[in-house]
Structure 1
Amino acid sequence: MASFKLSYCIGNSSNISCLEIEKQALLSFKKSLEDPANLLSSWKAKVNCCKWKGVICSNLTGHVLGLHNGHGFLQGKINPSLINLKYLRYLDLSQNDFAETIPSFIGSFKSLEYLDLSHSGFYGIIPHNLGNLSNLRTLILEDTERCVVDSLEWLTGLSKLEHLNMNGVNLSKAANWEQFQGPIPAISNTTKLQLIDLSRNNINSTIPDWFYVCQDLDYISLSLNYQIHGSISKSIANLTSLKTLDLSTNDLSGKIPREISNLCKLQTLDLSENKFVGEISDSFGNMSDCFLGTLSSLNLRENQLSGHLTNQFGEFKSLLSLELSRNSLSGVIPDNIGNLSSLEYLFLGNNQLIGNIPESVGQLFNISRLVIEDNKLEGSLQLESWNLGSGTQIPSWLETQNVGELDLSSTGISGNVPSWLWEISFLGLSHNQLRGKIPDISSPNVLYLRSNQFSGSLPRVEDTVTELDLSNNRFSRGISHFLCNTTRMIYTMEILDLEGNQLTGELPDCWMKWPSLKMLNLGNNMLSGNIPNSIGLLVDLLSLNLYNNKFSGQIPLSMQKCTQLFKIDFSGNDFDGNMPTWMVTNLGDLTILILRSNKLSGEIASDICHLKSLQILDISDNMVSGIIPRCVNNFTAMRLKRSLVDRYGMRKLEYTDYSGVFLESASLVTKGRQLLYDTILPLVTNIDLSQNNLSGDIPKELTSLVELRSLNVSGNHLTGLIPDNIGNMKQLESLDFSRNSLFGEIPSSFASMSSLNYLNLSYNNLTGRIPESTQLRGFNDSSFIGNNLCGPQLKISCSIDGNPRAPTHKEDQDQEDDKSEIEWFYVFLFSGYAVDFQLS
């Protein structure tokens, strides 16, 4: 928190009494509040208010100059009687719980120099008249996320501002969540400004030029705004007092100016998750000695930087963390990297580095986390350069390094895992060729062993483990001993991924022992039987994946208690019974619902339209009947524009802070094939109702889902016309209406669907001319056969009235031959598709 000093003598030891009008104002303030912590117990009418706790008076005049009522857990509303504190200079109401908007009368405190309203439960529009506080030096609105700033122009009135913290404030327009479009406004007379924190907002702006003239600035954070764009000016060199510069998770581009590496007081530099380009040596190839001596954290992760690391990267004197992963860096790792004696975190993964890992890495005695995955190092890891003997290929020197966290994922290591490695708190060994059995786990808090060759029974775990990923290995047998034979309740486990093994048997009724689970994945195994009712005790569960097993029976009603679920994937099982209505009435946050390839029946209840967050709905290949609900236009998530920015705002798609180690994924059938989506999952919108017994027409309301990317209702009994305004669905990439009984003409609006790259209208009763457009001309006859259509795609000419022209005798014979071949083609296509589905 910023410091505050009154410029003349104050205190509570004076015999000066406070003014009666100010005392009564404070008593009215107290009366309107609830005070469960008794913060205001000293505020008594018969006591001089200058003696009250949290009240600061002038020893000269008795006027109340300051109120320090932060961290008091006060509740209720602020009485406007405070307006009578005409000389108030310091107001701290932080860490309370006021159920109201920020009172506009606060903007009337003309003498106010310090204002802290952070973490206090305020909501609504931040009043513009805060800009009237012309003497304000410190403004802290941190984590008032329920407050909304609909304009930043009022900041221009704060000419004496030195500290500004709006971290976590919602800088969007209140009613409709449209992102703030204006630039960060100019603030005059900013030479005294020392702190700017506008992180975790939705600012859409460049970095304003006035930033670069604030020579007293020592802290700038604009992180997690996603849309701050443009470049960093070379004028950054003016900020000679700067200690922290955090511009991470935005849309900045261009080259990083070399001037940054000459800032002598800079301690923390975070430019990660932007679009910076250029050779890294151009920006950090000639760093000043003072920069090398002062910097403690350098984060350039997830940009588009290229080129070689210079030897200067081994010359930092105080560096604790170096993050360069997810760029396009090439060349070798500098030999002197081991000279970074203070280094605790080293991230070089996902680049194009080559050659041997220097032996000097073994000299990093303070290293806590080392990530070098996914490079082009010779032999994946040149382990021979570390003088390893026969046996294990995991570097033996690590045993002596007191490593707390280690990630050797995707490094090509093989063999057995030495026993000492199981003592590390974070252990990542995914995507290697490691084998053998895993002992019972009692030490690692986070363990990622995905995609190796581990076998045998699942290990038992203790209640220290928070994340366990054993997916895509060769574990076999049942899971009762794993789930039920624990010595105590596993309150810590949040992520459990056992997907892609050879596990068999039924699920035991022991889920009450795992109450903290948020993500459970048992997909792609050979588990069978009914789902036990105790699964409903996982009330914190966000994602439940049971796909591609042999589960049967009905989906248990007890699951309606799992109200936090946003993803359910039960595809590829033998679940039966009606479509569960409770699933759509109780699970309001459901975003991904995949029930593909089961034996479900009944109708799609109109209640499903309450799922406004739904972006993926797949109930294909079941026995569902009835009509498609008309209310599908209520699927809000399929109407609003989406972007990859959503990945950072959706905690549900990324569960861990470890560089995105665990991302949610979904396997969908679209564009005629099965595809796996993970990193771009926030962009995916899909409705698949194919291979059921649906009847009625295609509701025109579907066409309002203008951000839908894939729609498949093939293999049903749908009738009627294709909606005329289907061309409104301009984001559709895949559309399949085949094998129904649709009739009428193909709407001309198809011509405007410029994103469409997969189309199947075959085997309906459609008539007339195929609309003319460059997009539709790109589809061959398989998209249109089995109708009464004409057009160049079918090599059938249209008559003047738009109907197919009668063919000649030779054309008749050719078409008959083609038809025979096409019928056999579809026999093989459908059987091949089923095989592909089973194997994918």
Structure 2
Amino acid sequence: MSINDHRLVQCNEKDKETLLIFKKGINDSSNGKISTWLTEKYCCAWEGVHCDNVTGRVTELDLHYQNLKGEINFSILQLEFLSYLDLSNNEFDMINIPATQHNITHASNLFYLDLSGIDLHMDNLHWITPLSSLKYLNLSGIDLHKETNWLQAVSTLPSLLELQLLNCKLNNFMTNPSIKYLNMSSFVTLDLSHNNFSFQLPNGIFNLTKDLNYLSLSGNNIHGEIPSSLLNLQNLRVLDLEYNQLQGSIPDGIGQLPNIQYLSLAGNMLSGSIPSTIGNLSSIQYLSIGYNNFSGEISEKTFSRLYNLDSLDLTESKFVFQFDFDWVPPFQLQYLSLSDTNQGPTFPSWIYTQKSLQLLQLSRSGIALVDRNKFWSLMERIKYVYFSNNSMTGDISNLTLKGRHIALDHNNFTGELPHISPMGVRVDFSFNFFSGSIPLSWKNLKHLHYLNLWSNKLSGEALVHLSNWKQLKSLNLGENKFSGTIPIKMSQHLEVVILRGNQFTGDIPLHIFDLSDMFHLDLAHNNLSGSIPKCVYNLTQMITISTIPYMTIGKFEWFTKGQEYYVDFINPNRTTIDLSANNLSGEVPLELFQLVQLQTLNLSYNNLIGTIPKMIGGMKSMESLDLSNNKLSGEIPQSMVLLNFLGYLNLSCNNFDGKIPIGTQLQSFDASSYIDNPKLCGAPLNNCTTNEENHKNATSPEDEDDDSIRESLYLGMGVGFAVGFLGICGSLFLIRKWRHAFYRFVDGVGDKLYVTLMVKLNRFHRNYAPGS
């Protein structure tokens, strides 16, 4: 019915009042459908409102995906002829259930109710009991953990056909005493996935309904074996039991489910071999049984009658694959995952026959040998390619990969980088042997979100295309030989920038500190010069608790606490700035110490001067701080004792003076965190005594040098005497214990002499080097 039709119908005044009561609690910040209410004479013309064309009574209210905030007032259920209500995927933060809701005087006509995708808490489901005509109920995403009698509430709905309570934090499901209260005889769809259930499936559960065609209990903690009563569900089309704790084997009678189209048992602890009867599921389109403990052989006989199979997932299976080299399957797959299975060393020839493949996962499958012509042709047409961690070789520079997601990392590919279609979104060529520069055609990758070229042999000015990649979120070009300068214009969406271990030169542009989404910046081990920019640091993710609602998925080399970590994702709360091993000079900007959520800061091996400001004490999330090998001076501020999460600290090889502040955290590090700061003292270094301080004040640099020479001379004389004594009296050391003791003495004296001379030499170079 069109809006023009609605204008011919004058809506019922009582319905209009009910709608306006509902509207009062809503904040329509996006000026969506509900903002038009009151702008038309008749409520039947309001956006989202549908009325009966004859009576003018409101029958439908559809406000899904409208960014509505505020309160859901269930007085809306007082609409006598309302049959359809969809408020899903909005941002409501409150539910108002009027007392009159429990005493609805009219017979409810509501048959469709969808409140899914709303992040709300709901204490009980008593309000649904009057909705006797309800056939479809979807409360997925609503927190119902306080509702302990949800089963009884649902069982009061005699007409209910479809129940979806996905991700509702439910923690009680079915125990023997409660089965008698549950009426599921009319159910066609039941989705209770991703809750907190922990129980064993009772054998009688599948006797409760024989009309069920959709059942999902995935993502819970259900244990025990798959009950044989499952075979009673002859109408079942979808069975999803993945990611539970199910044990035992797949029932042999699984092949007796003639209508099954979707079967997922992945992510359990099932064992044994695959029953041959699974080959009888001629209607099946999606089969996922990976991430279990299955064993035995699997061959073409298993799939000989699966004519309609569209998706196959055997990830992380221990099967012995016995496919004939010339086998041509009876199906054409769009989705195939054989990652973490033993397929190699030769690429499975039957995969070349799959002309409809859109996604292929063969990571960590032991593949080294491919039919080059067939393999290159396959790679060029697949949209989602995951071949990570194999031993594939070859020059693919002449290929044009049409994939949106391309993961060829951890292989042995050589030659120049291949061409990529403009639709590329995620590209990972890391840990290969690619050489040359980034192809000019890559400038057209306007949809690129993630690029990882870590650890290749690439060179040239890599960042000339960066300003074209306006959607880029993660850039990893580390451990190559790229050169040039960092461009002024970069994607405003960048979250991760890793240029580590290259030959980039020039200044760090101001723009890089204006990327509000960035939480990981690694420019270490380059030839960058100039000072760290003094500007307004708009790095929001390093100032406030992360607002990014997801992990950044990919493969990353993360350096923190003096260690290298290899991770498959980075949490946006793990904030990092690493500018170490460059030629940066000048003072460290105060703005850098205002990034209070920063966890890892490494400025080591530069030529930075100045002091550590007192405001560093406000960086209470700091876990790793390395300022070593610079020319920083002054006292270590007392406020650093407030850094309670500091697990790694290196202030060595600077010009700090005074006493190390006393605090549990700072004294937990050994002397190596503070060494080679000549005027620094206090635990864990030597104590700052009055005599020592007076002696230092009374001693000139020349006297210190004389003392150093004298100390070295005495140590040298000691070693010479010891060696001479050994030559004269060597015969006295025929006893093994004496001989070993003497050698340890000589080694100890030699080590002490070496350390003393090296420390004095470093101090000499620092104090008397040109330009110092």
What TM-score do you get using the length of structure 1 for normalisation? Answer: 0.66
What displacement does 1:730 show?
Answer: 4.3
Please tell me the root mean square deviation across aligned C-alpha atoms, in Å. Answer: 4.4
Give the 3 Å change call, closer, same or farther, for CA 678–796 of structure 1 in structure 2: same
Other structure's SS at 1:702 match? helix
Give the 3 Å change call, closer, same or farther, for CA 129–169 of structure 1 in structure 2: closer
> 1:190 corresponds to which residue?
78
Give the 3 Å change call, closer, same or farther, for CA 558–721 of structure 1 in structure 2: farther
Match for residue 63 of structure 2 among 146, 151, 166? 166
Question: Which residues of 2 match residues 809-820 of structure 1 at below 5 A?
Answer: none
> 2:160 corresponds to which residue?
266
> 1:241 corresponds to which residue?
133
> 2:286 corresponds to which residue?
405
Question: Which residues of 2 match residues 526-545 of structure 1 at below 5 A?
Answer: 526-532=412-418, 534-535=419-420, 538-545=421-428
Give the 3 Å change call, closer, same or farther, for CA 166–453 of structure 1 in structure 2: same
> 1:520 corresponds to which residue?
406
C-alpha deviations, 1:311-341, integer Å up to 9, x for none? 3431222222222222222233322122122
Give the 3 Å change call, closer, same or farther, for CA 236–336 of structure 1 in structure 2: same
Measure the CA separation in 1 of the matches of 2:114 and 2:663. 49
Other structure's SS at 1:254 match? coil
Measure the CA separation in 2 of the matches of 1:637 and 1:773. 29
Matched, 1:587 2:469: yes
C-alpha deviations, 1:656-705, integer Å up to 9, x for none? xxxxxxx6554533444444555774555444444444444443333454
> 1:445 corresponds to which residue?
334
Other structure's SS at 2:537 match? helix
Measure the CA separation in 2 of the matches of 1:260 and 1:635. 49
> 1:72 corresponds to which residue?
none
What displacement does 1:447 show?
Answer: 0.7
Q: Letter of the aligned partner of 1:617 in structure 2?
A: L
C-alpha deviations, 1:473-516, integer Å up to 9, x for none? 11114785356435x972xx3311111000123223211xx43x
What displacement does 1:567 show?
Answer: 1.2
Other structure's SS at 1:304 match? coil
Measure the CA separation in 2 of the matches of 1:304 and 1:822. 64
Other structure's SS at 1:471 match? coil
Measure the CA separation in 1 of the matches of 2:694 and 2:602. 27
Measure the CA separation in 2 of the matches of 1:579 and 1:130. 54
Query: Which of structures 1 and 2 has the bigger CA Rg?
Result: 2
Matched, 1:395 2:275: yes
C-alpha deviations, 1:323-380, integer Å up to 9, x for none? 2222222233322122122222222222223334433433222222222233334xxx
Measure the CA separation in 2 of the matches of 1:567 and 1:763. 38
> 2:720 corresponds to which residue?
none
Is the CA contact 2:579–2:602 (under 8 Å) kept in the aligned structure 1?
yes
Matched, 1:642 2:546: yes
Measure the CA separation in 1 of the matches of 2:247 and 2:574. 35
Other structure's SS at 2:235 match? coil
What displacement does 1:456 show?
Answer: 3.5
Give the 3 Å change call, closer, same or farther, for CA 195–531 of structure 1 in structure 2: same
Matched, 1:432 2:317: yes
Q: Letter of the aligned partner of 1:520 in structure 2?
A: I
Is the CA contact 1:337–1:360 (under 8 Å) kept in the aligned structure 2?
no
Measure the CA separation in 2 of the matches of 1:133 and 1:804. 89
Is the CA contact 1:547–1:570 (under 8 Å) kept in the aligned structure 2?
yes
Is the CA contact 1:111–1:133 (under 8 Å) kept in the aligned structure 2?
no
> 2:537 corresponds to which residue?
633
Other structure's SS at 1:669 match? strand
Question: Which residues of 2 match residues 309-320 of structure 1 at below 5 A?
Answer: 309-315=201-207, 316-320=209-213
What displacement does 1:564 show?
Answer: 1.4
Other structure's SS at 2:184 match? helix
Matched, 1:307 2:307: no
Q: Letter of the aligned partner of 1:455 in structure 2?
A: G
Question: Which residues of 2 match residues 411-810 of structure 1 at below 5 A?
Answer: 411-414=292-295, 417-419=298-300, 421=303, 424-434=309-319, 443-458=332-347, 460=352, 463-477=355-369, 480-482=372-374, 484-485=376-377, 490=381, 493-511=382-400, 514-515=401-402, 517-532=403-418, 534-535=419-420, 538-578=421-461, 580-583=463-466, 585-599=467-481, 600-601=502-503, 602-603=505-506, 604-609=508-513, 611-630=515-534, 633-639=537-543, 641-642=545-546, 645-646=549-550, 664=554, 666-675=556-565, 677-678=567-568, 681=571, 683-753=573-643, 755-771=645-661, 781=671, 783-787=673-677, 789-790=680-681, 792=683, 794=684, 796-797=686-687
What displacement does 1:797 show?
Answer: 4.1
What displacement does 1:430 show?
Answer: 0.8
Measure the CA separation in 1 of the matches of 2:613 and 2:314. 52
Q: Letter of the aligned partner of 1:347 in structure 2?
A: D
Give the 3 Å change call, closer, same or farther, for CA 735–293 of structure 1 in structure 2: farther
What displacement does 1:526 show?
Answer: 1.6
Other structure's SS at 1:258 match? helix
What displacement does 1:241 show?
Answer: 3.0
Other structure's SS at 1:530 match? coil
Measure the CA separation in 1 of the matches of 2:686 and 2:79. 76
Higher mean displacement: 518-527 or 545-554:
545-554
Measure the CA separation in 1 of the matches of 2:693 and 2:123. 58
Measure the CA separation in 1 of the matches of 2:90 and 2:753. 59
Measure the CA separation in 2 of the matches of 1:802 and 1:407. 74
- Extract unaligned runs of 5+ from structure 1: 5-53, 57-63, 67-86, 91-108, 114-121, 143-158, 172-179, 384-393, 648-652, 654-662, 807-811, 824-840
Give the 3 Å change call, closer, same or farther, for CA 776–699 of structure 1 in structure 2: same
Aligned residue pairs total 645
What displacement does 1:429 show?
Answer: 0.8
